[in-house]
Amino acid sequence: MTFIKTLAATTALAGILLAGAAQAADVKIALVAKSLGNGFFDAAHKGAEEAAKQIGGVQIIYTGPTTTTAEGQIDVINALISQKVDAIAISANDKDAVAPVLKKAMGRGIKVISWDSAVAPAGRMLHLNPSSNALIGNMCLKLAADALPGGKGEVAILSATATSTNQNTWIAEMKKQLPSYPGLTIVATVYGDDLSDKSYRETQGLLQTHPEVKVIIAPTSVGIVAAAQAVKDAGKIGQVFVTGLGLPSEMAGAVHSGATKSFAIWNPIDLGYSATYLADDLVKGAKAGDGAELPIGRMGKVKLDAGSEAAMADPFVYDKTNVDEFAKVF
């Protein structure tokens, strides 16, 4: 009996050790959000876990700072370097500020990609845009024009942080393409730092200092919700419309209240999913560079340009005809 018990214990211990070794052999991919507690990035995390399950042998470490600062992300990245992760996939709060620490990570053999909001080229191997920047800028203007009679009126922009790569790129695209919408005039740009309370206050300020504004464009999933609430609380529904980029689950109420006629977004689940596939591709030896085509599971393939950047998909428009359906998804 003693021999049998010893054998059983030894077998169990061996199983535990083998399981531990298998787990240790998993590819560790860190998905770094701009900040935790943000519905957009929580949805991206779901997509990353889906991809990890499909690929097999991949462990997702979902992390990020509690506030949308470069300093917070730098602390997170240093911790990930110490953990010796295999890859870091990050949505940057400041493309230049996080580049040096990510360059250090690459020097330690860690594969680094950015997604959603880019890192400067020196700090990453490739970047996955959720869509074409030009298409996103045009979509925001089109949504604003569609909300106004005759497509005419004054517009304000509520952005995230002043250093956010993707926000600044999209705003630049809006201004570049504004001549195609002669009825629109952009009168102000304010920053809510991807914080609900500050975004709400900034919207209140816009309504007071620019009473002529008829549409607020918020290309940020936090800002658009806060702006819609501020318009509702100010009794401005029907007078001021909010549009931009948001999550159906968070914007359904605004659509039904009339604060928002329509808005757009790519699927953040697909974005986290695609970023995970790309990070795993690099860990397994794929090369990034001009013309490289990399598989991203059910999303197909992406082709990198000369800057090692690729676009995932076109923005999709949500309104009262479909928002409830998609609100059940993300």
Please give the Cα distance from 239 to 225 (Å, whole number).
17
**Per-residue model confidence as pLDDT tens digits over 289-329:** 999 999 999 999 999 999 999 999 889 999 999 999 999 98
Instruction: Give Cβ neighbours of residue 93 (< 8 Å, ≥ 6 apart).
Output: 34, 35, 65, 68, 69, 70, 72, 73, 117, 161, 163, 164
Q: Which CATH superfamily is domain 2-130+268-313 in?
A: Response regulator (3.40.50.2300)
Q: Quote the pLDDT of residue 235.
A: 98
Q: pLDDT at position 12, please?
A: 41
**What pLDDT score was predicted for residue 8?**
42
The three-state secondary structure class of 116 is coil
Given this model, what pLDDT does residue 24 score? 53
Domain residue extents for the chain? 2-130+268-313, 133-265
Global pTM value: 0.85
* pLDDT tens-digit series, residues 10-59: 444 344 343 444 455 699 999 999 999 999 999 999 999 999 999 999 99
Residue 302 near residue 286 (C-beta atoms within 8 A):
no
CB 45 within 8 A of CB 276: no
What whole-number distance in Å separates Cα of residue 228 and Cα of residue 129? 26
Cβ density class 244-267: b for 16+ within 10 Å, e for less: bbbbbbbbbbbbeeebbbbbbbbb
Residue 122 reports pLDDT greater than 70: yes
Say which CATH class 133-265 falls into.
Answer: alpha beta
